[in-house]
Amino acid sequence: MIRLNENYLKLQSSYLFSEISKRVALFQKENPGKEIIRLGIGDVTRALPKACIEAFHKATDEMADDATFRGYGPEQGYDFLREAIAREDFQARGAEINADEVFVSDGAKCDTGNIQELFAGDIRIAIPDPVYPVYIDTNVMAGRTGNYNDGRYEGVVYLDCTRENHFVPELPKETVDLIYLCFPNNPTGATITKTELEKWVDYAKKNKSLIIYDAAYEEFIRDEELPRSIFEIKDAREVAIESRSYSKTAGFTGTRCAYTVIPKECMVYDASCGKHPLHGFWNRRHTTKFNGVSYPVQRAAEATYSEEGKKQVKELSNYYLENAKLIRQAVTGLCLACTGGENSPYIWVDSLRDSWEFFSMLLTEAGVVTTPGAGFGRCGQGFIRISAFNSRANVEKALARIKEALK
């Protein structure tokens, strides 16, 4: 008899963004004439940068000729991309990362979801609330939590992110082994300073914990004082890994390319406190379960680091940040408090009522899709997240409709 991993029974019935899609599809079916504007899931709408497209086409042509065709590539990614990442994303900012510490993949979602399988089943995990649901759901699947009660899974150390702490969690009072941090934050758009991040690195060193740092939105940072990488913090190489993605940076949500950095000094411990470099285990997992990102996609990702590519990527993120500014202005004008949207494409809005109720009202009255904060955790109740990823015309239209609906 094929038996179920019963941890799946503990999960909420569907993944947050699938649930939203279902509700939107139902509404659309019942209201076929109504035009819907999507500011829910953070999905980009603008074309890939020209430099990426040119590199993509060129690489595709290489695949069309026996002389330049490539079969399986290195599972960890081609050197040309790993070297560009280490040089441009880290060394250029004073962070000491080498190309062989970079693992190219098809998404930060997959990496942050998959990495937990390297750790023991009974480790204690600390998860911010609200949070990108992948971190918690994958630990539920792995059996690291108890049941779901009153909006939370038993056995998890939740790190409350509230108005009072400016949506940056405080260190846990207890000892935890695995910590998830994401800055600029999804969903709140909050950012973390170097001083605050140093406290997390110190905590992890003291407790032999590991920080999974999700920096998928770093391209949106405009405040030069803010860290773009956890590896800008001294000693972070010993206790942190970092995931990044080209999805939001360069419009790759449908193209798929990301990476995770595992420094060689980063250790994991066996039951007898013997230490082992995490790098080798992730390499083992990656080479066993993954066959690499396609060659043309890696060439397209590499092109984001050319002079033209850099300019075009900046132009894209500036465009979405301008949308974010308009959203912030409109929301504030409606006397709703918000955070995010300045160094982040997400605006976290205090809806002054139940999140799902506000979500439904905006969908039915304004035809605008947002994301209910409660879907990201108990502390998200009473908030909605608005994404700046859409065309300027759609954002302006959506804001006018929201204003009308809230009159």
Contacts with ligand MLT, residue ranges (CB under 6 A): 41-43, 109, 132, 186
CA dist., res. 36 & res. 398, Å (int): 9
Q: Which is nearer to ligand MLT, 295 or 348 (CB)?
A: 348
Q: Which is nearer to ligand MLT, 241 or 369 (CB)?
A: 369
Q: Which is nearer to ligand MLT, 36 or 123 (CB)?
A: 36
Put residue 262 in one of left, alpha, beta given phi > 0 → left and psi -120 to 50 → alpha: beta
Question: What DSSP line would sit under 298-311, residue for residue?
Answer: HHHHHGGGSHHHHH
Q: Please state at what angle helix 392-405 crosses helix 307-333, rounded to 10 degrees.
A: 10
Cβ 208 to ligand MLT, closest distance in Å? 30
239 and 200 Cβ atoms separated by less than 8 Å: no
Cβ 380 to ligand MLT, closest distance in Å? 12
Amino acid of residue 339: T
Assigned token pair, 102: 């970079």
- Other beta carbons less than 10 A from residue 25's beta carbon: 11
Cβ 245 to ligand MLT, closest distance in Å? 7
Cβ 185 to ligand MLT, closest distance in Å? 11
Q: Which is nearer to ligand MLT, 351 or 387 (CB)?
A: 387
Amino acid of residue 206: K
Residue nearest to ligand MLT (CB): 42
Question: CA 214: distance to chain centroid?
Answer: 6
Cβ 348 to ligand MLT, closest distance in Å? 12
Q: Which is nearer to ligand MLT, 263 or 375 (CB)?
A: 375
Cβ 4 to ligand MLT, closest distance in Å? 25
Q: Which is nearer to ligand MLT, 43 or 238 (CB)?
A: 43
CA dist., res. 319 & res. 211, Å (int): 31
Amino acid of residue 225: E
